[in-house]
Structure 1
Amino acid sequence: MPSDGAKLAKGGRTFWFRDAIIYQIWPASFKDLNDDGMGDLQGIIASLDYIKSLGVNTLWLSPMYDSPQVDMGYDISDYQAIYPPYGTMDDMDALIRGCHDRGIKILLDLVINHTSDQHRWFKESRASKQSPKRDWYIWRPAKYDAEGKRHPPNNWRSNFNTPAWTWDEATQEYYLHLFCPEQPDLNWTHDECRRTIYQETMVYWLEKGVNGFRVDTVNMYSKPMDFPDAPVTDPGAETQPAGMVYCNGPMMHTYLKEMGEILERYDAMTVGELPNTPQTADVIRYVSAASNELSQVFQFDLVDLGRLPEDIMQGRPFELPEMKRTIDKWQRFTDGNDAWTTAFCENHDQARSISRFGSDKTPDDAVESGKLLALLNTSLSGTLYIYQGQEIGMTNVPKTWGIEEYLDVNSINYYKSVEERTGGDAKALARALSGINSYGRDNARTPVQWTSEANGGFSKTPSTKPWMRTNDNYTSINVAAQQGDEASVLNFYRRAIELRKRHAAVLAKGRFELVDVDDAKLFKFVKRSQGAGAGGEVAFVVLNFSGEEQAYQVPDEVVGGKVIANTRLDGGKPGVLRAWEGRIYLA
């Protein structure tokens, strides 16, 4: 990776995000201070000292805007108001101040591909074909077949397993929504619409003091406006997956450069959600410092490991060499250019990483694999992201939960689609439920487990029922139980983050080199700081992704180096790792 100094390309940009360690909060599930069963802004404010104690320096707050909550706040009805159960604008101002007083920067979610259908813009757009805001959204006439039957403009399927077009009876046209029907897509080709988006959703909050944005579905704003059909990859289905058609449209980079000019004035960072962009050269266009578009993006290859492309709620056990190649690709794609990358394995849209990539078969396995994944992520180059509960080793929900416990619209739609396709076949529905348990978003959205009291101490009063069922393992996995335990996942995260800061040149910004890619049990890699070999540092990371003891050899260049991190306190035997154990050597 090139040096930071080479990238101070323009104006007031300081590239502070390259040293950011970011903690993501899902407001509904973080902490309920007013005792109504729903997380709130005051609960976050009361927990800021805990957040700071982790060693993080940036907070990412998932949507807290006013919303009907069809998609947990990603359907925004007012960008300049707070969802009342979360609090007030005064609470939001206090949270921004509270973060800054502690030296913590704050990011908000920027959700501007679509709005809620309850947003005033869409209500006006929907009122009539003559509305001044009609073209702020994407409306198209129906198609009719030879029998006169009405059909949508094309065969696109939404991201939530429903048709991407909804018929509006009043105005006799379809509108596009790449997500729920209640999330109509904005028309970014309309100049006034686009300028208003920038002013009301970006400038407004930057003036309030936020330091940047996680940008939702960042490559979907520009669609091919002739709306071609997607290739048929799901034979027999009325709609087809269309992500490779509607992502990365012809005007994407123009729009992002417009946004970049605004962000630069505030030295604000962005991290974009960039699906359906597999080629590294295409990603570099988005995150090159010289292009002044996005600071960095999330690539989902890692969290998609094992998932079936034709049915993302189903999968197979991943193989460790797959993980290695995936991480290698996105660690090294910045070599020789001015781009930047990210390191993460959890967020609000993903199942818990211990259940996906480690083992939750026993409590001991969960603890050890939680620390193993912590060591992996804190050793990777790029901006580091940690999702709430990840730092205490929260896991997927029990496999015994019924479908009624899952609240996410994507999981509900998926289950219904299987039910409709199979006529309610019991085996098909059991398979669907198993898939939701493995990959569903609800796994990450259960309330944070603070204590062993009822409902994990999520609310002020333990008897208060939370909005969503707490994971059954809260009695053993919780913050209070781990605070004073040096062998806990929580305290390991604190040590690993501190180590990452102390050796940032090699761990957070060093060059990544895989070792023994085909080893199916051990994940080994070397990190080299800038100038390694001439006074720089070299680190060797070795991680046992298995439930059995594994032997390893230290590379010659690191022989004699010091073990600076071990997931187990007793240090173990040289050259041997126990189940789910990891170490870092430094020379």
Structure 2
Amino acid sequence: MSAPTPNWWKTGTAYQVWPASYKDSNGDGIGDIQGLISTLPYLKKLGIDIVWLSPMYKSPQKDFGYDISDYQDVDPQFGTLADLDELIKKCHDMGMKLLLDLVINHTSDQHKWFLESKKDKTNEKADWYIWRDAKMVDGKRHPPNNWRSIFGGSAWEWVEERGQYYLHLFVPEQPDLNWELDEVRQAIYREAISFWLDRGVDGFRVDTCNLYSKNTSYPDAPIVLMGEEYQPAEAHFVNGPRMHEWLKEQREQVLDKYGDVAMVGELPGTDAAEVLKYVAAEVRELSCVFDFDVVSLGGRHGAGVKKHQVHKHDLPSFKQAIGKQQDLTRGTTAWSTAFLENHDQARSLNRFATADPKYREKAAKMLATLLGCLTGTLFIYQGQEIGMVNMPDSWGIEEIKDPDSLNAYHDVMHRHDGEPLWLEKAMAGIRRVARDNARTPVHWDSSKHGGFTTGEPWMRVHDLYPEINVADQEKNPSSPLNYWRKMIEIRQKYAELAVFGDFETWDFLEPDSFTFTKENKSNGYEKKKLLTFLSFSDEVQPLHFPPDCKGKEMELLISNVDEPGKHLTPWEARVYLVSL
């Protein structure tokens, strides 16, 4: 009896496109859907099976499309519904699937539902958002509680028209929907989900999908940030009491009508036991999840941690976070993802390896090797395949576009009265972990603006585009781009081990190297293992051989050096197929 065919979203390699910075087709300086369509052959050649397109919906762009004013239309800067239909068709014609972003915790404050809701307390959509009366203290109006927005400041915004505050967990222009109301959920299912599945999309990356259910008593959060008016309140809105009920309802009432729809959930602030409640196959809620422990290293998503307070992690912490994500599938029916970059994170070379020009390309291949050998659905972010890096240190606050970064900078400025040393710390934090790092335009060639646009780009193109670009790497057989192609081929050839195997770290406490194996005692691989050696150091490192691999027949599958020797050279990677 043969093994069952795995779901398409388990075996595929996905590529995230953040449209504004991907490829501009009409010279207006903003990436668009036609630009993406023009690169589909490139993505196919890379080995991509799934394209994830970040929000392209109609939006005032207060949070780069995550503030949606119309779920059923495309923002004019990105194209038209006809363009999106063409993208769906061309992806399918080339054997690729398409995921859209599903942003349904909140809408834009320009959405027709909110414009109606804010008019007064008696209109038919009056309760579609979360409204509360002011708290009066000494005759002065205050927000209903002390919750801090994820982007800083109060999570409540006053509307004079209605005489109440509304909740926004993100920027003020993103009011949270009231999921407690059945008619709200049905409208979301109809307009945001069914509309696109009817047009042929294959699934969604589900934005902040553990935030819908809040503690409806809206109590004050405990004070953990002394001297600050607004406090982190994640305990009252992350993994709330009705989350599982609603995700099951969504699956049963909507998704089941369309077959094997992929729902890739974003689950910030969630431990492994809680993740399983969302993603075990039998619960039928999410297909797989993004676990954030790796990209949160150094405290990025700790309660109230500011950008300038994020610190450099050590390699054992990195291994532990990788292990948590890998162990999610061990002995369970759950599925996970493997990623190091997305639109909300700094570039992986800077965060987890080195952007030193001496080692940059070698380190990019090393991280490609790591990701290519991890269990779960592999997600690559635009530009990662050519080794794009963080913004240059020479850039100042005037180049920053993201409201999260700007809020962080201005928070430090106001809290510390513009003291120059504090502003330097704020800027250092932004350069290290800001979302802007991932949002500089993709470098397609060495022409002006890196071939991203023939016009003036909406955001400055990285200064290194003449050195790091697709066209030059296409011509170089040893480039990071061509290494990624080989790595994806190996991942697919040995999928039973690389994609589905059990993960084991062998040198957990080593601070400079990472050795792990992948094993799958089924489907003809009982006597085989993948053995991966990685260097995270500028110095030569010894090899740490697992006991059962010593003296065994080993076939070198891939390496980022021409002739692997007795030791690991700086930032070296190699993968062996071991016959036990």
Q: TM-score, normalised by structure 1?
A: 0.95
What residue number does 1:276 align with? 269
388, 392, 397: which one aligns with 2:386 = 392
Is residue 496–residue 523 contact of structure 2 (8 Å, CA) maintained in 1? Answer: no
Question: Which 5+ residue runs of structure 1 have no aligned equivalent?
Answer: 9-13
What residue number does 1:335 align with? 330
Is the partner of 2:491 in helix, strand or coil?
A: helix
Query: How do 1:364-443 residues align onto structure 2 when only pairs under 5 Å count?
Result: 364-443=358-437
AA partner of residue 194 (structure 1): R
Is residue 505–residue 530 contact of structure 1 (8 Å, CA) maintained in 2? Answer: no
159, 164, 172: which one aligns with 1:168 = 159
560, 564, 580: which one aligns with 1:567 = 560
Alpha-carbon distance, 1:292 to partner:
0.5
Is residue 98–residue 203 contact of structure 2 (8 Å, CA) maintained in 1? Answer: yes
AA partner of residue 300 (structure 1): F
1:102 corresponds to 2:94: yes
Is residue 378–residue 507 contact of structure 1 (8 Å, CA) maintained in 2? Answer: yes
Query: Over residues 492-547 of structure 1, what are the superposed CA-to-partner deviations in whole Å (9 max), with x where a residue is unaligned?
Result: 00000000000000011100011010001110011102338974421111100001
Query: Over residues 399-454 of structure 1, what are the superposed CA-to-partner deviations in whole Å (9 max), with x where a residue is unaligned?
Result: 11010101000001111111110111100011000100000000000000001111
Alpha-carbon distance, 1:560 to partner:
2.0
AA partner of residue 329 (structure 1): K
CA distance in 2, matches of 1:64, 1:381: 30
Query: How do 1:26-37 residues align onto structure 2 when only pairs under 5 Å count?
Result: 26-37=18-29
AA partner of residue 326 (structure 2): Q
What residue number does 2:539 align with? 548
Query: Over residues 45-72 of structure 1, what are the superposed CA-to-partner deviations in whole Å (9 max), with x where a residue is unaligned?
Result: 1110001111010000000000000000
CA distance in 1, matches of 2:144, 2:365: 50
Question: Which 5+ residue runs of structure 2 have no aligned equivalent?
Answer: none
Is residue 244–residue 276 contact of structure 1 (8 Å, CA) maintained in 2? Answer: no
Alpha-carbon distance, 1:276 to partner:
1.5
Is residue 351–residue 441 contact of structure 1 (8 Å, CA) maintained in 2? Answer: yes
Alpha-carbon distance, 1:388 to partner:
0.3
Is residue 520–residue 526 contact of structure 2 (8 Å, CA) maintained in 1? Answer: no
Is residue 515–residue 544 contact of structure 2 (8 Å, CA) maintained in 1? Answer: no
Q: Which moved more, 1:148-157 or 1:339-348?
A: 148-157
CA distance in 1, matches of 2:29, 2:576: 46
Alpha-carbon distance, 1:4 to partner:
7.2
Aligned length: 570
Percent identical among aligned pairs is 50
CA distance in 1, matches of 2:402, 2:317: 29
CA distance in 1, matches of 2:247, 2:381: 26
AA partner of residue 520 (structure 1): P
Is residue 263–residue 269 contact of structure 1 (8 Å, CA) maintained in 2? Answer: no
CA distance in 2, matches of 1:191, 1:315: 40
AA partner of residue 484 (structure 1): K
Q: Which moved more, 1:310-319 or 1:49-58?
A: 310-319
Query: How do 1:143-182 residues align onto structure 2 when only pairs under 5 Å count?
Result: 143-145=135-137, 147-182=138-173
CA distance in 2, matches of 1:489, 1:274: 30
Is the partner of 1:272 in helix, strand or coil?
A: strand
AA partner of residue 132 (structure 1): E
Is residue 375–residue 500 contact of structure 2 (8 Å, CA) maintained in 1? Answer: yes
Alpha-carbon distance, 1:396 to partner:
0.2
Query: Over residues 436-482 of structure 1, what are the superposed CA-to-partner deviations in whole Å (9 max), with x where a residue is unaligned?
Result: 000000000000000111110101x2xx2100000100010000110
CA distance in 2, matches of 1:76, 1:355: 31
AA partner of residue 453 (structure 1): S
CA distance in 2, matches of 1:511, 1:53: 29
Is residue 23–residue 442 contact of structure 2 (8 Å, CA) maintained in 1? Answer: yes
Alpha-carbon distance, 1:548 to partner:
1.0
Is the partner of 1:68 in helix, strand or coil?
A: coil
CA distance in 1, matches of 2:477, 2:419: 49
Is residue 523–residue 545 contact of structure 1 (8 Å, CA) maintained in 2? Answer: yes
